[in-house]
């Protein structure tokens, strides 16, 4: 594998896990530490910063620590279910899968508790999972129930054949009724856990938005993403001056405490069913905290008139 311009400056372990979604970051780190991964013929550390043109060679194997997702009872709703796939309404503040800071009590812990066959589907650390939502984002998540559907859905997401629509409460009122944001996204040059618009070395990213409702100082936007970059909606809306309300990473710190979490909801997902060809459109109802925030903004807008 030759590192692209977008990978310049990215940690080796991050680059591998982002490039090969079938493997978790912990699997990539284990392969690097064991010397099974080389960069330009040399064994390096997981934190090695790549340069465009570097050549990565090696193999990644599952490790024992990645194969044990503990079944746990987790509260979530099933929006749709058939023999091939599931659609889950993920609550806010629930991580999709175990990782740093979330070793258990994640969505996948609940999935393997309720649907035991999922333990054998896809990556053992993320059984059945074909896409992700941020921990504080609520909404619809697709889960594959068979190996064939897992492979097909993963390819559909990669090929941008899945339509994803979100609802976001944002700061301010846009000057237009709708818009399209084309701005490449990459790692922040200083804060490596942040993403940012990176004109020269970011990955192509496109988001379309339209105003659904306006309030005194906030708006409800419907956002459709054509690509699926990390933190894409949050970064793009910040880029146009309308950050997501309650976002303590990309929004104004002084206002974050006025909302229970980042007010972003994965509302609808549309796709062709990988097993029978049906056109699917699945919707996750707004959770109570989102509805309460909208009601509060509506009341405040009326009182200010």
Catalytic residues: 134
Q: For residue 105, give the DSSP letter.
A: S
- Which region holds residue 303: left if phi is over 0, alpha if psi is between -120 and 50, else beta? alpha
Q: Cβ neighbours of residue 107 under 8 Å, at least 6 residues apart?
A: 74, 76, 88, 90, 94, 95, 96, 97, 141
Number of residues written out for the chain = 305
What three-state secondary structure class fits 276? coil
- The tokens for 221 are 């936007």
Q: CB–CB of 149/275 below 8 Å? A: yes
- Residue 39 in contact with residue 54, Cβ under 8 Å? yes
Cβ 232 vs Cβ 238: under 8 Å: no
Where are any strands of DSSP class E within 5-68? Answer: 37-39, 56-58
Per the listing, tokens 């001056």 go with 241
Q: What six digits make up the tokens of 244?
A: 């997501």
CA dihedral 26, 29, 30, 34 (to 10 degrees): 180
Burial 231-255 (b: 16+ CB within 10 A, else e): bbbbbbbbbbebbbbbbebbbeeeb
């Amino acid at each position: 594998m030759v590192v692209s311009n977008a990978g310049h400056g990215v940690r080796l372990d991050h680059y591998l896990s982002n490039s090969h979604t079938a493997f978790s970051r912990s699997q990539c780190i284990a392969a690097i530490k064991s010397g099974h991964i080389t960069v330009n013929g040399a064994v390096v550390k997981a934190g090695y910063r790549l340069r465009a043109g570097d050549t990565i060679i090696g193999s990644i194997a599952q490790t024992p620590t990645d194969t044990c997702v503990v079944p746990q009872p987790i509260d979530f709703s099933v929006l749709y279910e058939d023999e091939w796939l599931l659609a889950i309404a993920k609550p806010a503040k629930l991580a999709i899968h175990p990782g740093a800071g979330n070793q258990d009590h994640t969505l996948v812990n609940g999935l393997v508790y309720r649907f035991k066959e999922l333990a054998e589907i896809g990556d053992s650390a993320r059984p059945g999972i074909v896409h992700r939502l941020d921990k504080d984002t609520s909404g619809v998540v697709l889960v594959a129930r068979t190996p064939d559907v897992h492979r097909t859905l993963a390819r559909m997401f990669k090929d941008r054949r899945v339509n994803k629509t979100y609802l976001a409460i944002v700061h301010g009122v846009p000057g237009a009724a709708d818009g399209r944001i084309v701005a490449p996204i990459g790692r922040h040059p200083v804060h490596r856990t942040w993403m940012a618009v990176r004109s020269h070395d970011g990955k192509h990213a496109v988001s379309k938005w339209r105003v659904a409702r306006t309030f005194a100082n906030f708006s409800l936007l419907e956002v459709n993403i054509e690509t699926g970059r990390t933190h894409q909606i949050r970064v793009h809306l910040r880029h146009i001056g309308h950050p997501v309300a309650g976002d303590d990473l990309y929004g104004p710190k002084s206002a974050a405490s006025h909302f229970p979490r980042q007010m972003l909801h994965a509302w609808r997902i549309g796709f062709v069913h990988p097993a029978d060809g049906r056109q699917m459109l699945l919707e996750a109802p707004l959770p109570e905290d989102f509805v309460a925030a909208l009601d509060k903004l509506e009341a405040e807008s009326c009182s200010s008139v």
